[in-house]
Structure 1
């Protein structure tokens, strides 16, 4: 089994300092696999299909049918091992969420603990101040296959779908936007003065907004910890309790069971590397992906 990792992760795994990868290699070792830690890159990925055995990539598309990918499920210590890099094709995305099957008291305890761990007291001080939070991602002028429309059109449809609330849009801090993209946002703000391009941090926006509109930004998942509903214009793994582009008349009053959903999404459908059952769940994910154990 070859694990293709970027340099920092490779060093951590080689030193035995990465809990999840230590569990993965332990499961594979018990099944008789020899483990090879390799640095990923264009050449390594291109050569991978010609090498014998199986492979795991980190956050990259598997390059052959004997390979899987693994990725953090938004926060540590939750992980997934899947045949696809696209989250919307993951097993959890295809499952039906059934809150009635979950112990609500257990879910509430779990949810409150993670609210505090991730965001301290901010969720307990959340308000609704008449604003829609729109965390923009990349390629604002492109309509990609997993999206209902291009992000700039999503902004316009949000302004039309909710004609009263302020729209607080933020740019992704790791994206370099073109002049055309920035000009399109500025032109839209001239047409709709309610549109504000904000530099406020995500946590502050989530604390104050009424709801979140996005293609598929992880900010919407974080919003669940503030009990803020999400309206999605794109495909993603956490779609089950979100609404869609035709639901602007319902979204402000949408009140899904956030606590049971987070418990189901993380404790049942993900691999919690901090739990005793992590090796069994890792083995199950590998088997589902076609790795003989």
Structure 2
């Protein structure tokens, strides 16, 4: 029996698909249909009730390890995606892959890094809407990026946001500390900052464009924010206080008392930013703008056991 591709999306995404958005799923649909395959749209996904049925199921924002199921979501940068049999973002299979920068083509990595800079850093674009006004910020500061409740909810954080900010302030070594609330959770960010200030710590709250902050900071700090990787576009190292799937190219702190030492290490021995980004995004994520998007997508399907023949693709 020829297998079908089943897209499991929230209702609002299904409604937008007719207009060609969201981009990942419209591209998957169009790629499969253009090759003679079949695509079904289903609202949501019942993981507990799932039974293997011979079809390939792709689940938006999924976290399922099931035969015939791939999980999909944005991979930190706009236009990049995980389509993954293990999970998404911090839970993706990339986190279990070995990383050896000496095996990554340095020339290709430099070209790739320059292209990403032109795509995101030069126009000051990030995944969430950012101010267009240029901000005047202190050089060499530590940049702390807050997130929403997801890292704690998903068991990815090694401490609370408040404890993280306190640790950074205590271990800043005289550097200014800039703290940016998440654009979608400004109230939560303001509460965290107020609580830290109430304990006597000195910091500066900022809503500046992410790229303005990254341009002047000495390092980024977060639980596992995309800004850690965006910082690589500006050649700024990262310290995380949570689990991630890019831990191989950052310093990760599980004990807040270890922050100072972790910061010293990453400032003294920063990663090869170009190789790290090329390895992560260029070799292990799907890029909606890449010429080989369809080929990479079909390779992921085949690796999951659904090659062109099984899907009836020409």
> Which TM class, normalised by the smaller chain length?
0.7 to 0.9
The alpha-carbon deviation at position 256 of structure 1 amounts to 1.3
Distance 1:157 1:291 in 2: 47
Unaligned stretches of 5+ in structure 1? Answer: none
The ranges of structure 1 where at least 4 consecutive aligned residues each deviate by more than 6 angstroms after the TM superposition are none
The alpha-carbon deviation at position 129 of structure 1 amounts to 1.3
The alpha-carbon deviation at position 153 of structure 1 amounts to 0.8
Q: Is the 8 A contact 1:4 1:55 kept in 2?
A: yes
Q: For residue 271 of structure 1, what is the aligned residue in structure 2?
A: 286
Q: For residue 214 of structure 1, what is the aligned residue in structure 2?
A: 222
Task: Give TM-score scaled by structure 2 length.
Answer: 0.76
Written as runs of structure 1 = structure 2, the 5 A alignment for 1:111-260 is 111-120=113-122, 129-139=139-149, 145-175=155-185, 177=187, 182-245=190-253, 246=258, 247-260=262-275
SS in 2 for 1:71: strand
Distance 1:108 1:190 in 2: 45
Instruction: Report the CA distance shift for 1:98/1:49 in structure 2 as closer, same or farther (over 3 A).
Output: same
The alpha-carbon deviation at position 253 of structure 1 amounts to 2.9
Distance 2:152 2:22 in 1: 37
RMSD: 3.4
Instruction: Report the CA distance shift for 1:74/1:146 in structure 2 as closer, same or farther (over 3 A).
Output: closer
SS in 2 for 1:169: strand
Distance 1:122 1:26 in 2: 31
SS in 2 for 1:216: coil
Instruction: Report the CA distance shift for 1:155/1:141 in structure 2 as closer, same or farther (over 3 A).
Output: farther
Correspondence for 2:57 among 47, 55, 58: 55
Distance 1:71 1:37 in 2: 16
Distance 1:116 1:95 in 2: 28
Correspondence for 1:3 among 3, 7, 24: 7
Task: Give TM-score scaled by structure 1 length.
Answer: 0.81
